A and B are shown apart, each in its own frame.
Chain A
Amino acid sequence: MRKCQSVEWRLSAYLDGQLQPTDRAAVEAHLRECPKCAAMLRAMRVGVEALRSMRTTEVSDAFWQRLRERLPQEKPTGWQRWVTALRWGWTERQQAACRRLAAAAIGVVILIGSWTGVKNYQGRVAAEQYAEQCAERHSLYLVHQPFGDATALSGGLSE
């Protein structure tokens, strides 16, 4: 029984002529003695030969036409093409699109930088103008109300 199991396991390889000579001889010796394993091999051989003799099937004549009609609807979407490009490299159109995208990105960066610079400049100018105005008003205030400060100063001294 154990021998049958070990031989059965090799019948498939035996059928294909893929056993080493010693293994093949052992299997053949067992097959001469064991009708059960010999019958198994014959049934296996008949089945395999029948499989190999089956006629080859072919698709219908309209196969490509039908397939062609299905393809456009199921073509890769835009993002799938980009994922493909990331994995497999860019097409010329995608390279051109990348160049345009990069140029646009650089333009945006320059624009933002310029706008920020202008804003900062405007801010600095406004602050300077304000400081100048304050200084000017303060000087005018001292000229027109000289005693206010002097009283406060003298009061402070008398104490």
Chain B
Amino acid sequence: MIPPVPQKVLVMDDAEQALLARCRANDLLAFEEVVHRYKNKVHNYIARMVNDADDAEDLTQDVFVKAFISLGSFRGEASLQTWLYRIATNLCIDRARRRKRQRWDTMSLDEPVRDDEDDEIGRDVPDVEADPYRHLERKELRQQVRRALGRLSEKLRAVIVLYDVQGLSYEEIAQVLGCPLGTVKSRLFNARAELAKHLKPYLYGEGAEPHA
């Protein structure tokens, strides 16, 4: 059993309510404090969602610009963090839709993509000539995990990143995504199962039967 992710139940406390009230009164210092508190969390989430450092920075900017404009429509039912994650998720999904439309005719399987550690890696075509029983080094494993993440749908990726990377609770994820708790659990299972399915060929070799 792996150690559980620290579960945090984030509700808006009095200090956060006061901060929000100051933001609504166009207090830029208060908004700067919000940005300072959450910028890296939001960036880390987006970086795992889009797997592109430059886009992650730009999208994180967009999240806070949108938050600034939408302060009036934020009801304060969820914590600021939950709200920011919700905006980030929507922006990531919008970006994915745009890119799918734009790249439908132009994407090449041989075209290299850059991961966030500046490693040139090929697209996800299994190399059947490789040693099927090789053990992956940690860095290579992370690359495989990133690729596997990239193959998940945005909805599955959002759940697994929010839970396993960002450390949110099921309840918070349900708030972020606006879906029932059962859906969160089922998506988390599906995401992890997909991840495992993509990793198995690299862990056990192409077509090899796993050992007990």
Contact = CB atoms under 8 A, between A and B. Distances in A.
Contacts of A88: 24, 72
B188 A12 contact: yes
A64 B40 contact: no
B109 interface: no
Interface in A11-41: 11-18, 32, 34-36, 38-41
Interface in B185-206: 185, 188-189, 192-193, 195-197, 199-200, 203-204
Interface stretch (B54-62, B85-93, B97-105, B174-182): B54-62
Given A50-B141, A67-B35, A60 B193 contact: no
B25 interface: yes
Contacts of A58: 40, 43-44
B199 A57 contact: no
A89 to B, nearest CB: 9
A111 to B, nearest CB: 35
A66 B61 contact: yes
Interface in A58-96: 58-60, 63-64, 66-68, 70-71, 74-76, 80-81, 83-84, 87-88, 91
Given A57-B40, A57-B53, A71-B28, A63 B61 contact: yes
A12 B64 contact: no
B32 A74 contact: no
Main secondary structure of the interface of A (DSSP, over half): helix
A149 interface: no
Main secondary structure of the interface of B (DSSP, over half): helix
Contact of A12 (B39, B53, B142, B189): B189
A84 B72 contact: yes
A142 to B, nearest CB: 79
A157 to B, nearest CB: 91
A9 interface: yes
Contacts of A76: 69, 71-72
A49 interface: yes
B158 to A, nearest CB: 13
B203 A52 contact: no
Contacts of B35: 63-64, 67
Given A12-B188, A35-B210, A74-B69, A50 B24 contact: no
Contacts of A41: 196
A14 B39 contact: no
Given A44-B193, A59-B60, 12 more contacts: A12-B189, A39-B204, A54-B48, A54-B145, A54-B165, A58-B40, A64-B35, A67-B65, A71-B65, A76-B69, A80-B72, A88-B72
